[in-house]
Homo-oligomer: A and B are copies of this chain.
Amino acid sequence: MPNTNHKLMENIVFTNNVATELQDATNSTAREDIFVLTDCNTLKYCMPVIGELAFKETNVITIPANETSKNLESVSKVWLTLSQRLVRRNSLLINLGGGMICDLGGFAASCFKRGMRYINVPTTLLAQVDASVGGKTGINFNGLKNEIGVFSQAEAIIMDTVFFSTLDKRQILSGYGEMFKHALLAGCSDLKSLMEINPLHAENEFFRKPIKRSLEIKQSIVSKDPFEKGERKSLNFGHTAGHAIESFRIHENKDLYHGEAVAHGIIIELYLSIMKLNFDSQLCEEIKTYLRSIFNIDFNGINAESLYNLMLHDKKNTDDEVNFTLLSRVGEYKTDCYCSKKEIIDAIEHAK
């Protein structure tokens, strides 16, 4: 196989040999100064892939593998290990895992001695197209997602699709939901390319090109607005409704992955786009049909009024209107579109 490593953007490296790439990226740092953050799953399945023997066993920090561990207690544990081992500001932390590990590890590193170096090695499709890039780090706090965090950049982000073998189909779909959102923001040709993929049957390798394109789209938006004052809000497309559905299913104790919730949110927000910005209604139906063919789209049991209330609480905007990013057409978005309760409930009913 030819060497397919190359730098995609400033600090993102695509590789088909993550172990070698990581050795290269760390060979100027003393072995005892390199730390690896994993969760129980990535410790078991991904650590061997990056060449675990290259790292000191005692420098591997492991936290539990679920979203509820993305908290201050886990960060404290990371800080305590780093502090006890006399880690210096120019030591290096490698975050090996999904979005939770990249977000939490990035935050831990950014605050340790006012900032130690870190590298993200995202191991899920979702983390590769979403959490690992864009400079957002954070943890959940007081029951709120990413309530505490900082903007900071990883020294490098190393991507390899080899890790996808450790994922189940729903985890793949979860990443695909975010990629689909990026394509809708970018334009028709991106959307068309993506709709030609059947993510349920694609080989790992196959994802490389679409991931790169998805990251280009995200980077181009983030670079215009790194601190989310305006333009970057466009990345919330599908997320206002999507987060509400995620919360709704959590209350029901039903398990729904992030990108699956986003797919539901996209459908609702396309209906809002028809109402508010004259988005093409036929295209909306086509997209809905496509998403239904890929995802297990299920609005059963979802009460439109409850969903509206969740959105309202989440955004805290006006007294009764909710702030969305909507599309006038594929590739053309508008942030700060306020929708009324009636419009939102109508859109939810259409989506069903």
Residue ranges of A at the interface with B (Cβ–Cβ < 8 Å): 72, 76, 79-80, 83-84, 86, 88, 107, 110-115, 136-138, 141-142, 144, 146-151, 227, 316
Contact A111 B79 (CB under 8 A): no
- With a cutoff of 8 Å between Cβ atoms, the chain B residues found around residue A113 in the complex are 147-149
- The smallest C-beta distance from A67 to any residue of chain B, in angstroms, reads 18
Contact A114 B149 (CB under 8 A): yes
Q: List 18 A-B contacts (CB under 8 A).
A: A72-B72, A79-B141, A79-B147, A79-B148, A80-B141, A83-B147, A84-B142, A88-B316, A110-B150, A111-B150, A113-B148, A113-B149, A114-B137, A114-B138, A114-B146, A114-B149, A115-B151, A115-B227
- In the bound complex, how far is the Cα of B72 from the Cα of A80, in angstroms? 12
A72-B76, A316-B86 in contact; A112/B148 too (CB < 8 A)? yes
Contact A80 B115 (CB under 8 A): no
Contact A150 B150 (CB under 8 A): yes
- With a cutoff of 8 Å between Cβ atoms, the chain B residues found around residue A136 in the complex are 114
- The smallest C-beta distance from A182 to any residue of chain B, in angstroms, reads 21
- With a cutoff of 8 Å between Cβ atoms, the chain B residues found around residue A114 in the complex are 136-138, 146, 149-151
- In the bound complex, how far is the Cα of B150 from the Cα of A144, in angstroms? 22
- With a cutoff of 8 Å between Cβ atoms, the chain B residues found around residue A110 in the complex are 150
- In the bound complex, how far is the Cα of B115 from the Cα of A298, in angstroms? 37
Contact A83 B150 (CB under 8 A): no
- With a cutoff of 8 Å between Cβ atoms, the chain B residues found around residue A142 in the complex are 79-80, 83-84
- In the bound complex, how far is the Cα of B83 from the Cα of A72, in angstroms? 14
- With a cutoff of 8 Å between Cβ atoms, the chain B residues found around residue A141 in the complex are 79-80, 83
Contact A144 B76 (CB under 8 A): no
- The smallest C-beta distance from A154 to any residue of chain B, in angstroms, reads 15
- In the bound complex, how far is the Cα of B142 from the Cα of A80, in angstroms? 7
- In the bound complex, how far is the Cα of B150 from the Cα of A227, in angstroms? 16
- With a cutoff of 8 Å between Cβ atoms, the chain B residues found around residue A111 in the complex are 107, 111, 148-150
- With a cutoff of 8 Å between Cβ atoms, the chain B residues found around residue A76 in the complex are 72
- With a cutoff of 8 Å between Cβ atoms, the chain B residues found around residue A84 in the complex are 142
- In the bound complex, how far is the Cα of B147 from the Cα of A86, in angstroms? 11
- In the bound complex, how far is the Cα of B149 from the Cα of A114, in angstroms? 5
- In the bound complex, how far is the Cα of B113 from the Cα of A86, in angstroms? 29
Contact among B86, B112, B147, B150 with A115 in the assembled complex (CB-CB below 8 Å): B150
- With a cutoff of 8 Å between Cβ atoms, the chain B residues found around residue A72 in the complex are 72, 76
A136 nearest CB neighbor, chain B only:
B114
- In the bound complex, how far is the Cα of B71 from the Cα of A76, in angstroms? 12
- In the bound complex, how far is the Cα of B86 from the Cα of A316, in angstroms? 8
- With a cutoff of 8 Å between Cβ atoms, the chain B residues found around residue A146 in the complex are 114
- In the bound complex, how far is the Cα of B138 from the Cα of A112, in angstroms? 10
- The smallest C-beta distance from A321 to any residue of chain B, in angstroms, reads 16
A108 nearest CB neighbor, chain B only:
B148
- The smallest C-beta distance from A68 to any residue of chain B, in angstroms, reads 17
